[in-house]
Every structure is written in structure tokens, then in C-alpha cells.
Chain A
Amino acid sequence: QQPVQSPQAVILREGEDAVINCSSSKALYSVHWYRQKHGEAPVFLMILLKGGEQKGHDKISASFNEKKQQSSLYLTASQLSYSGTYFCGTSGSARQLTFGSGTQLTVLP
């Protein structure tokens, strides 16, 4: 079953923060986060594994609450380059991902 992402869309000014949520009705082994620019392939951002810690690099980080089967992606001090559609992908086993419908993020100057 497809994970539910929220919000569907968000518009920010440069330097503002954003949070994107991903929720599943199934027990999860891993959560992936990807960013896709228009007309391009998704690019892997990070993976969170069951039993793992919160991850992050630069100003993008994520958390994984196994009990609630939820993950959140945090974008801090957003830059113009952060614009795109963000997808979470969830896996109940090790290899197949089911993707959410995406969150469209627009960062304005």
C-alpha cells in the first residue's frame, strides 16, 4: 500500500525551513527519500533503516519513527536548488520500494 505524504505542495522563501512527512500503514524496514527535478530522474537523498538513527547531511535531515511507521524530511534554510518534488519510498522487506505521491517544493528568491 502506498505511503501517504504531506503536504502535497509547499512554497517557501529562500532561507525558510520545511518539513515533509511520510506515513505508512505497514511495518517498515526502511524509508528512502528522493528529489526529482522536472523531467529528470529521481536522485537519492538518504535512507533510514529500522533501528537506525536520524540522518542528515548539510541542511537536509530525516527521522524515522518505527513505532508510528512515519518518517519526516527536514529542510533547513532552504536554497533555490532545493526546489523539486520529494518522494518517500518505503520497504517492508529489504529491496522493493513503494513510493508516495510526492510533495512539490518551490523555493522562491
Chain B
Amino acid sequence: DGGITQSPKYLFRKEGQNVTLSCEQNLNHDAMYWYRQDPGQGLRLIYYSQIVNDFQKGDIAEGYSVSREKKESFPLTVTSAQKNPTAFYLCASLRGIGGYGYTFGSGTRLTVV
């Protein structure tokens, strides 16, 4: 079955470390997104990509970086510049405009130790 795979499910980061969250989809969707969710809060957009080799900053891009070298993959790096990275990170993809909803991955829970 097609879907989005995020890994790892849980991730622990030490102060000053960079960590990379994986997001892979086999849905053949062009657009992919990264959202951050804090406890009891909604989802905030970090980065998005509508096509390979192109991506744009979302509302809270500072301290994060992404790449989109392949259609299937959209990894997110949480850098040491992100001062409060503890959160639930969700990757999503979109089939196309008009009439379609996001498909979400199962998420990565990142904790700073």
C-alpha cells in the first residue's frame, strides 16, 4: 500500500547536535510538507516543497533545513540553532490541487536531553 514513512518514531538529541528526520513517500505526490506540533497546539509549517530541487520556508523555518533531491524523499534537519526543538514532527504530501487532502506520516517525536 502507498503511504508516507517517517523515521525514527522517537529521537533524542543532545544540546548542540544536528539531527535528521526521514520522510519517504511512494504515492508519487509532487508536494511535500513538514509541520511541527507542540503539546495541545495546532500544526505549524516549517518547510514545503512543490517540486524536486525546490523548497520554500514556512512560518517557522529558523533552525531547520531541508533538501528535495528525489521526489520520494524530503528529509528535515533540526540544527543546533533551533533552541527549542522538542516537539512532534509530521511530514505530509499532497496529490494535487483541488479536492485532495494531505496524507500524513505517523510522525517523529523529538526530545532534547
Contact = CB atoms under 8 A, between A and B. Distances in A.
Contacts of B33: 96-97
A84 interface: no
Interface stretch (B42-50, B62-70, B78-86): B42-50
B107 A96 contact: no
A94 B97 contact: yes
Assign chain A's interface to a size class. 20 to 34
Contacts of A95: 31, 48, 50, 94, 97
Given A41-B104, A49-B99, A96 B42 contact: no
Assign chain B's interface to a size class. 20 to 34
B103 A44 contact: yes
**Which of A32, A41, A46, A47 neighbours the largest number of chain B CB atoms within 10 Å of its CB?**
A41
Interface stretch (A62-70, A72-80, A99-107): A99-107
Contacts of B90: 41-42
A44 B42 contact: no
Interface of A: 2, 32, 34, 40-47, 49, 87, 89, 94-102
Interface in B39-77: 40-45, 48, 50, 58-59
Contacts of B12: none
Nearest to B90: A41
Given A42-B90, A95-B50, A95-B94, A34 B42 contact: no
A5 B46 CA distance: 21
B99 A44 contact: no
Given A47-B100, A94-B97, A41 B45 contact: no
A44 B102 contact: yes
A87 B42 contact: yes
16 contacts: A2-B42, A34-B101, A41-B107, A42-B90, A43-B104, A44-B101, A47-B100, A87-B42, A94-B98, A95-B94, A96-B45, A96-B48, A96-B58, A97-B33, A98-B45, A102-B42
